[in-house]
Every structure is written in C-alpha cells, then in structure tokens.
Structure 1
Amino acid sequence: MAFKIALAVFAATVAAASVCAQTPAPADPVATLVDHLALDNYKATIQGLTQFGDRRQGTERNRQALDWIEAQLKRYGCTNTERLRYEFTEPARRGPVQLQPLRAGGPAAQGGGTLFGRRAPIGVNTDPMAQPDERLRALNAEPTPPGTTPRESVYCTKVGSTRPDEMYIVSAHMDGIGFGEAANDDGSGTALVMELARIFSLPGVTTERSIRFILWNNEETGLNGAYAYVAQRKDLQGIESPKGSGRYPEPTWLGLIQHDMLLFDHGMPVPKLDAAGKPVLDARGQPVYVAPKEQRAEADVNVEFQVNSRQAEGSARLAWQLRAANEKYATDYPAAVGNRMTNTDSTPFMDLVPAISVRENERGMQIGAGWNPHWHQPTDLFSTYSDKDFLLGLNAAQTTLAAVAQLAGAKVGR
C-alpha cells in the first residue's frame, strides 16, 4: 500500500513538472515595451521636427512646431495634452564661448594644456548667412520679436492606475538656435520623449504611477520654460482637484529625467590633416582640431546628476537605476553615470526632486571641450548624422523607457 502511495505521489510530481515545463514564463512587460522602439520611428520623428527649422523661441516656426508636437501626441492616444503659458522677455544675444587656459600665461585655448585638454572651437552661430541652404535660411529668417510676449511648453500625462497622485517627469526641450534644423539639439531629445509618450499610450499599457511627458520651450535662453513650470506648479503637487475626484492635476514629483543632445559621441577632436596628411595650422601656427567622422567605438549614453544639489543622494539613485536598466534592456551602447549635471532643464528641479540629465557626452568636460562641432551651428541637420548616431539616441530611449517602466510599475495587458 505504501509503495502504491509513493508511486502515485511520484507520478503526480512528474505530471506537475511536465505542465510547468510546457507553460511559458510570463512576458517581461518592460522588454515588451522596449521592443516597441524602432530606429525608423525615432528617425522619422526627428525628421518631422526639422521641417520647422531651428524652432527658435518666439517665432512662428516655434509655434508651428508646438502645434505639430501636440497633434502627434494626441494621435498617439495621449489625449490629455496641455500647454504651460508664461511671459518671457528676450535677453541680450549670446556671444561666442570664451575659452580660458588652465593657468595664467598658459597655452592657447585650441592647443594642448587647457582646462579640457585638446579641444575644438565652440560657440553659438548668430549669422544666418552661415547657413548655405537657401531654403533653410529663408525658413529660419524670422527673428525672435523684441519685448515681453507669451511663450508655451506642451505636455501630456499617463495617469497612474493606483497612484495617480505620484509622478515621474520625462522631458526635453523643443526650441533650438544656430540657423540649422536643431536635429540633435534638441530634436533628438524631443523625439525620444514623444516616442515614450506613444508607447506608454498604447492600448493595454497601464502604470501604477503617473508619467508626464514635457517638451520645454525657451531652454536656449536660460531654461525659462522649465523655471516657469517649477514656479507655477511646485506648490500644487499632490493636491486632489476637485476634492474627492481622484484627480491630481499636479501629482507629487518623484523624479525628473531630462534629455538634451543624444546623437553625437565621436570622441575627442583630432588634428585636421591636409591632402598630404600633414596637420593644418591656424593663423597662430596652432593645429586645427576637428571631430572624428565616425561614432567612436567607446560611445555611451551619459546619465548625469548634480553632486552639489540638495537632492544629490536621490538623484544618484535615479541615475544608477537608469544605468541598471541600460545594462538589461539597451541593445548597443552602454550607459555611464557622472555627477556634474549642468546647463539643461533638469537644473530648476534639482533641489526639489531627484533630477538627472541624459546626454551624448559629459556636459562640462566633453561638450565644453568642443566634442560636438554641430552644437548651435548651421550643420545641426538631420542629414549630418548617420544611423550609428541615431542608434545612440535610440539606446538612450531604451534606457529611459526601461527605467521609467520599472519605476512607474508598468504592465501590458492583452
């Protein structure tokens, strides 16, 4: 009798194991969402933005770009789009960046021994005639009007199913300068935010916490759109309106992830060579440095927080969560974490909430050293970048999408 019972137990165990072996493991919802990202979609969104030229704030082309972005978000299913309206006065025009040697009497800025080592010239192009394309020059001809006039940023929200009162913010700036197409600065970041809004708006996708997708205006004039948002909305966090409705127009901020220039990581400038292979010299007899033509093998997605901010500890944790998400879900390029976030729309938030910036290069050390020769230049065009460049931006999208899906508690239904 005991033998028959043992045999029956053994048979039941084998049968159960067979059933388990035949039952597939549940799909990873994060991987499912990341799989919806595609290089062609990402490129097409960037190219769509470039139809409005550099999208300089205050101009008709800037307003048309805002309308286009809002229409796209609604088409994706992100129907609760809103505008943030604020007043802005055009400041004095920026001049070229002045490069300072490491010590008094040091070598010239373009040679070796400067604060950032070997570097290429950087600055902001303010000459419309530097754009050789007549069509694009005409498109970008309208200047920002003088005086104080209203400006707008646009956003939409994925409302959380169980914690609608808590929110992650995913952002980029949609305005640009330089008389190009602002394809990288910041079409690349804007397209990323729009793609994430599209994917989180797909049928069957739910999140426990809310996610807000924001496209700032006036970044290039001093982060004014982001500062206006903080000024208008920070004291409204977590307030149910109307009372008892379960609606939170401004959920409590849990973290902000800003995206600003994602395509170009070609490495340190190298000496420019003439037809004979000799270094080209400038008028001072110093070597002229240019960016390498190809994306470097060591290219990576830079995730930065500001170590001197009041939220440095939480920001560091958020940055490392993106790093971990990149390791598991990004396909081609790794992520690196740095602690010197600066000069982008995460800055107004960094003392209030964990805030990080996702970029192609380190903001101070690499962008500041002229690693991207198209920054604020007429050459910031869709046609300037290769698929290797666009793929770096797509990997940034994979990184943020995966991290936010985990943080917000995303699920994918049938």
Structure 2
Amino acid sequence: MCAGLFASSMTTNSQAQSLDILQSSALKPDDLVVSMVRQLDLEKYKATIKSLTEFGDRRQGTERNRRALDWIEAQLKSYGCTNTERLQFDYTQAPSATSAQSAPSAQSVPSATTTATPAPRRNVIPSGGLGGGAGQGGSTLFGKRAKTGVNTDPLLQTNEKLRTLNAEQTPVGTSQRENVYCTKIGKKNPDEMYIVGAHFDGIGFGEAANDNGSGTALVMELARIFSSPEIDTDKSIRFVLWNNEETGLNGAYAYVAQRKDLQGIESPKGSGKYPEPKWLGMIQHDMMLWDHGMPVPQLDAHGKQVLDAEGKPVYVSPKEQRAEADVNIEFQSTSKQAEGAAKLAWFFRAANDKYATTYPAAVGFHMTNTDSVPFMDVVPAISLRENERGMQIGAGWNPNWHQPSDVFSTYSDKDFMLGLNAAQTTLSAVAILSGAKIAPVSKK
C-alpha cells in the first residue's frame, strides 16, 4: 500500500523503482485509516499540550526540562508504547552565549560524536516595514513585516508563577542531555522504519505551548493510537521527542551521528530484532497552531496608524486564525534527498485532502531550522508546521515565537484545530505508508 516508497535506497535502481511506484499509485480512502483518524480528539490534543505547559518553557539543561522528559516517557508507556528508550548526548553551554539569543542555524552540524556544542546562529529579521527581503529559508517574502526575535528578559513574563517556574537557566559547561523515543515494531518488515518527531524543549519565558508543545502533543497522540494492540503495521514507526532543538538541533544531530550507521543491522544475529531499522522517511512537527497571516496596521483609538519611535508604521498579527490558514508541509529543495522528499511531501498533501477535516495543506520547498534538517541528506525528510518558517516566521508573522505570550491561553480552538489537522495528515499518511491493518484476534 505505498509502504516504503521514499526509502533512502542503497542503490540508484531501487530508489528509482520506489519513485515509479509512487507516481503510479493513488491514495484511496480506507475504513481503518478513517477509524484511526477519528480517534484523534481535539480535547485530548489540547489536554496533552496543557500538561506539557505545566513544565514551563522546558528550557534545555534545566530541572523542568528533565521533569518534562520523565513525564513524556511515562505517558508513552501508559499508551502501550512500552519499549521506550533514551538517547544520551553531551552538550556544552559556553559562558558567552545563551540558548535564548537567536534562532538556530540549519547549516551547523556538530561532530559525529555524542558531544553537541552550540551551533552558530543565523540572524532573524529584526525590524518592521514594507517590501521584500531575504527570509531565513533563502526565499523572499513581499508584504508587511513585524518585529521578531527571542525574548531573553524574564521580567517580561507578567505571570509571577510562570516567571518563578522558568527562573532556572541552562548551566554553563558540559552536561548530558537526552532524547526519548518509542517504536511500533513492524510485523512484516521490522527492519524498515518511518521516524515521526518533534522537539519538546522551548525558550522565551512562556509555556512553549506552540513551540513546541503543539508538535510534541501531536507525536504523542500518534504514538497512543498506533500503540493500540488492535493495530498492526508492516513496517516500524519510531516516535521521537528531541531535546536541544533551540540550541542548534543538537538532539537530532546527535541521533543521526550515533544511529545512522546502525540502520538495518540485526542484533543479535538471528534474533529478528533491529535496534535501528533502516530509515524510510523522517517527518518532523514544529509549531502547529498559529497561521493568522500577514501583520496588519496597528491602529490607535481614533483609527489612525500607530508609529514607532522612528516614525515607522507598526504592524501586529491579526487576532483570529485566517480563513485561508493551512498546514504547511516543507521539504528542502537543496538537500541530497530532495526528489524523494518532494514526493513524500506531496503524498502527505494527498493524505490531507482525503482525511483532514478542516484545514488544507500546502507544500513548500524551504525546510529550515528544525529537526528534520540533520536527516535531509540521508533520507527523504519533511516538516509539518503552521506556516513557512523561513519566510513568514522570519518576517514576524507569529508574534508569540519565543515570547512570554506563547502560553496555552493565547490560543483558540481554531488554532488548536490547525494542529489537530496536522495530526490527521501525518497519522493517515504514515498509516498507509507503514501498511497499517487490524491485528488478528489472538486465540487463547
């Protein structure tokens, strides 16, 4: 059923064959997929995000980050995804640079050891105004811009309880970090696997509800549904929650460095067990809730345009989710796996057309600054998000990005529904690709 179509093939022939199969295939509605999608519930999704926000912004290296990691692992086990594991890596926090100073660079790759140092950062667009200009993703966005950046001032958080919760900062020096994951083992091809991920750490002295409680909750909800004993899959699926995304995608880079050469190796020999199945595709989820569109002029009480101290127009994000909001599915056109990644992105777009209930999907080709980047030259990799990160986030279209306002109460049900539609998109696509089916009834 289209499973494994986008595998990073060892030979050119097998990769070409996979793409040929995809081009001749069609997504067809399936009763099981529909049933699985219906298990995604808006209130459950919201409740998981809300639980994650109880740990504050989950800044890497802090006690609240570690407690969030423990909670995520316990939840995965409670869903029946009992084979949870942690991948450990070392991170060095330099005295001269904090993890909350600027956006992570998608171009910086740490060494292939377990040590991950902070990556050099790419500047984001700092000021408002009209017109074009290069976005983070290497593209140009024409239109209104708003100021963007990363909040580093805890006093801007007006909620005293949250300010106290977020008080601990990342310690200077080298310390250990951990990702957590669990795996749905394929019945027919346990040696092949799709990776479904999101980062759980955040910054900005808020609750990191959107960035990235929304993506973390999405992955956890999919792990819950696929872990049902009533569901079997032909191929394996790994649900991964990354750490240290905000410091340069360090958790994902560490995973690739440690695990890429272990793909498809049976261990122990003859056991039928594959600790690291061969990667067929990587799907990342990062900021799923906010697609309110281009900033609009801020008006005073008399309906006049507000100007800043320099006399320039001030623009603010619309309060409501825009009518044309969509789930953005991105791949990176310059990656070594661009062809397969594009096919994977369009397959997810087709899945959205068939199975998502409210918001459509759009495909973009400037995937950047998220945990799919370390995978993109090794395996077809895509990212689902609220809008195009490179252009729109970089142009200040999301006023809550790394700000104290990224709290649960900021978002409406229309916002949460955008995230749920992304979950519907990924669940349906991965169900088809992995060959999901109803498990046979065991005879006792």
TM-score between both structures, scaled by the size of structure 1? 0.90
Question: Is the CA contact (8 Å cut-off) linking 1:99 and 1:109 kept in structure 2?
Answer: no
Structure-2 residue corresponding to 1:350: 376
Unaligned runs of 5+ in 1: 1-25, 101-107
Counterpart residue type for residue 315 of structure 2: Y
Deviates more, 1:78-87 or 1:89-98: 89-98
Whole-Å separation in 1 of the counterparts to 2:310 and 2:101: 22
The answer on whether the counterparts of 1:73 and 1:198 sit within 8 Å (CA) in structure 2 is: yes
2:177 and 2:416 map into 1 onto residues whose CA distance is 30
Partner Cα separation in structure 2 for residue 46 and residue 27 of structure 1: 29
Cα separation, 2, equivalents of 1:270 and 1:165: 51
CA distance in 2 between counterparts of 1:194 and 1:99 reads 30
Change in 2 beyond 3 A, CA 1:27/1:270: closer
Bigger-Rg structure (1/2): 1
Note the 1:168-179 alignment, pairs <5 A.
168-179=194-205
* 1:44 is aligned to 2:44: no
Match of 1:309 among 335, 355, 358: 335
Counterpart code for 2:62 = T
CA deviation profile, 1:8-39 (whole Å, cap 9, x unmatched): xxxxxxxxxxxxxxxxxx96211111010000
TM-fit CA distance, 1:99: 5.9
Q: Residue 113 in 1 paired to residue 105 in 2?
A: no
Find the aligned partners of 2:127 and 2:200 in 1 and give their Cα distance.
32
1:316-355 aligned within 5 A: 316-355=342-381
1:79-158 aligned at under 5 Å gives the runs 79-91=82-94, 92-93=97-98, 94-95=100-101, 109-115=127-133, 116=141, 117-158=143-184
The equivalent residue for 2:34 is 31
Matches within 5 A, 1:195-274: 195-274=221-300
Rounded Cα–Cα distance in structure 1 between residues aligned with 2:433 and 2:30: 18
| Counterpart residue number, 1:54 | 57
The C-alpha deviation readout for 1:315-347, integer Å capped at 9, x for no partner, is: 001101100000000000000001110000000
Amino acid at match of 1:112: L
Partners of 1:161 and 1:60 in 2: CA distance = 38
Equivalent AA in structure 1 for residue 224 of structure 2: R
What residue is the counterpart of 1:184 in the other structure? 210
What is the alpha-carbon distance in structure 2 between the residues aligned to residue 308 and residue 114 of structure 1? 22
Structure 2 gaps, min length 5 = 1-28, 104-122, 134-140
Distance in 2 (CA, whole Å) between partners of 1:224 and 1:365 is 23
Deviating above 3 A after TM superposition, structure 1's stretches of 4 or more consecutive aligned residues are 94-100
Residues 203 and 158 of structure 1, relative CA distance in 2, 3 Å threshold: same
Question: Which secondary structure does the structure 2 equivalent of 1:287 belong to?
Answer: coil
Residue identity matched to 1:234:
K
- Residue of structure 2 equivalent to 1:12: none
What is the CA–CA distance in structure 2 between the aligned matches of 1:251 and 1:113, rounded to whole Å?
A: 47
**C-alpha distance in 1, partners of 2:130/2:165?**
39
CA contact (8 A) 2:124 2:149 kept: no
The answer to whether the 8 Å contact 1:82/1:154 transfers is yes
Greater percentage in helix: 1
Residues 191 and 274 in structure 2, CA contact (< 8 A), matched pair in contact too: yes
Query: 2:328–2:385: 8 Å Cα contact kept in structure 1?
Result: yes
* Paired residue type of 1:247: K
Displacement after TM superposition at 1:114 (Å):
3.7
Structure 1 residues 357-396: aligned runs within 5 Å: 357-396=383-422
Secondary structure, aligned partner of 2:52 = helix
Please, which moves more after superposition, 245-254 or 110-119? 110-119
TM-score, structure 2 as length reference: 0.84
Which amino acid is 1:111 matched to?
G
Letter in 2 for 1:199: I
Q: Offset at 1:96?
A: 5.6
C-alpha distance in 1, partners of 2:223/2:284?
Answer: 14
Aligned residue pairs, count: 382
1:243-279 alpha-carbon deviations (Å, 9 max, x no partner): 0000000000000000000000000000101111111
Aligned partner of residue 175 in structure 1, secondary structure: coil
Residue among 194, 209, 214 paired with 2:220: 194
SS of match in other structure, 2:175: strand
Contact 1:168 1:255 in 2 (8 A): yes
1:180 is aligned with what amino acid? G
Contact 1:96–1:122 (8 Å) recurs in 2 = no
Tell me how far apart the structure 2 counterparts of residues 99 and 52 of structure 1 sit (CA, whole Å): 27
Q: Sequence identity of aligned pairs in percent?
A: 74
Aligned counterpart, 2:66: 63
Query: Which residue type is aligned with residue 358 of structure 1?
Result: L
What letter matches 2:129 in structure 1?
G
